[in-house]
């Protein structure tokens, strides 16, 4: 089966893909770590951010290498400015909670820095910005043959792994850098140029890839300096992205084809359409609201209810606001009688 995304106009499958991924992002932040391992979440749930980055690369290159340009204004308005506003709101809430303890606020400046980089998924906008800068710089690499390009990105990815391992890069720096995602640049461009084909070769590579994810996530062994060992990002190695790009994305395309007329698909596409807004709101929710709700409703010991509540709180307010805004905009543009 072949997976190709529409290079011109609107492709509803991309929204479906982003909708699935934003649900997985929310689940990542509300499912207890022990339960994530039990249900195999590192294999089917953790790939959300890699898929988002593959989509970013696809969008940049889908019209061709020569026409791919960085739109700084678009990145600022759609990505960076909303992120800064949400982080500002989070910091205001934090300052309000500790408003009676000025000494704590002054002495805990590092907490404010952490909120800008260490919250639930806060690293993603920073990685997105790094990719936005890297994509134009990589255009020359993609003008050569596919084999040459593949070798280059495999070498670059492996060099990054070795450098991180040898230098024992601190986790807080590692999570904010693009090093672990370099191979996604190749995979996203491959999707833009040729699409993905699920055949015997790619299925075999996917099996090897998903097996590596299983070993990295479930077994504690020292793979350095070949692969950088860091528990929180155990499955973030270049070899782990192969099955995501072929088996998982092609599989989701297959699911979409059979469900595209269903209510399920409609809801998922709607979530995908506003995936970044939902992502930003979940930052605020898990940083400022979730603990209060779980404690107030005594849900901390009932994972299923807590998970469902988190999904609803992170998605419904955004959808309601977007619908209200749409109705408001429609009324403004109504012709005068």
Look up tokens 């992502």; give the residue: 279
Q: Rounded to whole angstroms, what are the CA distances from 222 to 207, 219, 230?
A: 22, 10, 10
pLDDT of residue 207: 96
Q: Does the pLDDT value for residue 258 go beyond 70?
A: yes
Which pLDDT band, with edges at 50, 70 and 90, does 117 fall under? low
Where is 173: in which H helix or E strand? helix 171-174
138 touches 184 (CB < 8 A): no
Is residue 332 packed enough to be buried (19+ CB in 10 Å), middle (13-18) or exposed (0-12)?
exposed
Q: Is 100 exposed, middle or buried (0-12, 13-18, 19+ CB in 10 A)?
A: exposed
| Predicted TM-score of the model (pTM) | 0.92
Is the per-residue pLDDT at 273 higher than 90? yes
Contacts with 268 (C-beta within 8 Å, 6 or more apart), sequence order:
15, 16, 19, 20, 23
Residues 63-77 pLDDT 10s: 887 777 888 999 999
CA dihedral 13, 18, 19, 25 (to 10 degrees): 160
Question: What are the DSSP calls for 123-162, one per residue?
Answer: HHHHHHHHHHHHHHHTGGGGGS-HHHHHHHHHHHHHHHHH
**Segment 134-153, tens digit of pLDDT:** 999 998 888 887 889 999 99
Dist. CA 82–CA 278, nearest whole Å = 11
Burial class (CB in 10 A: 0-12, 13-18, 19+), 221: exposed
> What was the pLDDT predicted at 210?
96
DSSP 8-state code for residue 76: I
- Output the average pLDDT for the chain: 88
**pLDDT attached to residue 5:** 87
Q: Checking DSSP bridges between strand 2-3 and strand 196-197, what pairing results, if any?
A: antiparallel
- Average pLDDT of span 86-110: 70
Closest CA to 184 of 294, 60, 273, 86: 60
Over residues 303-329, the pLDDT tens digits come to 788 888 899 999 999 999 998 988 887
| pLDDT at 223 (0 to 100) | 86
Q: Give residue 115's pLDDT.
A: 61
Are 51 and 17 a contacting pair, CB within 8 Å?
A: yes
Using omega within 30 degrees of 0 as the cis cutoff, is the peptide bond preceding 225 cis? yes
Tell me, what's the pLDDT at 123?
93
Which secondary structure element, helix H or strand E, spans residue 320, and what is its range? helix 303-332
Q: What is the pLDDT of residue 298?
A: 54
């Amino acid at each position: 089966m072949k997976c190709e995304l529409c290079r011109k106009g609107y492709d509803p499958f991309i929204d479906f893909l982003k909708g699935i991924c934003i649900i997985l992002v929310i689940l990542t932040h509300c499912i207890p770590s022990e339960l994530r391992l039990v249900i195999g979440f590192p294999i089917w749930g953790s790939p959300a951010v890699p898929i988002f980055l593959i989509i970013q690369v696809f969008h940049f290159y889908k019209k061709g290498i020569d026409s791919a340009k960085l739109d700084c204004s678009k990145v600022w308005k759609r990505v960076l400015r909303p992120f800064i506003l949400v982080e500002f709101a989070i910091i205001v809430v934090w300052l309000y909670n500790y408003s009676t303890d000025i000494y704590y606020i002054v002495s805990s400046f590092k907490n404010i820095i952490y909120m800008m980089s260490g919250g639930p998924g806060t690293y993603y906008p920073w990685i997105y910005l790094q990719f936005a800068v890297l994509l134009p710089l990589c255009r020359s690499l993609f003008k050569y043959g596919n084999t040459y390009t593949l070798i280059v990105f495999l070498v670059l990815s492996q060099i990054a792994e070795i450098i991180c391992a040898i230098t024992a890069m601190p986790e807080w720096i590692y999570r904010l850098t693009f090093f672990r995602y370099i191979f996604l640049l190749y995979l996203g461009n491959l999707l833009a140029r040729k699409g993905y084909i699920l055949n015997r070769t790619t299925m075999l590579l996917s099996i090897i890839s998903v097996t590596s994810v299983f070993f990295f996530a479930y077994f504690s062994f020292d793979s350095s300096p070949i692969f950088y060992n860091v528990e929180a990002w155990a499955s973030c190695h270049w070899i782990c992205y192969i099955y995501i790009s072929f088996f998982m994305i092609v599989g989701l395309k297959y699911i979409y084809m059979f469900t595209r007329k269903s209510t399920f698909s409609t809801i998922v596409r709607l979530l995908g359409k506003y995936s970044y807004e939902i992502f930003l709101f979940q930052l605020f929710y898990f940083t400022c609201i979730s603990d209060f709700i779980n404690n107030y409703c005594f849900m901390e010991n009932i994972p299923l209810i807590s998970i469902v509540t988190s999904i609803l709180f992170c998605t419904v307010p955004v959808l309601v606001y977007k619908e209200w805004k749409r109705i408001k905009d429609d009324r403004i543009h109504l012709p005068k009688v």
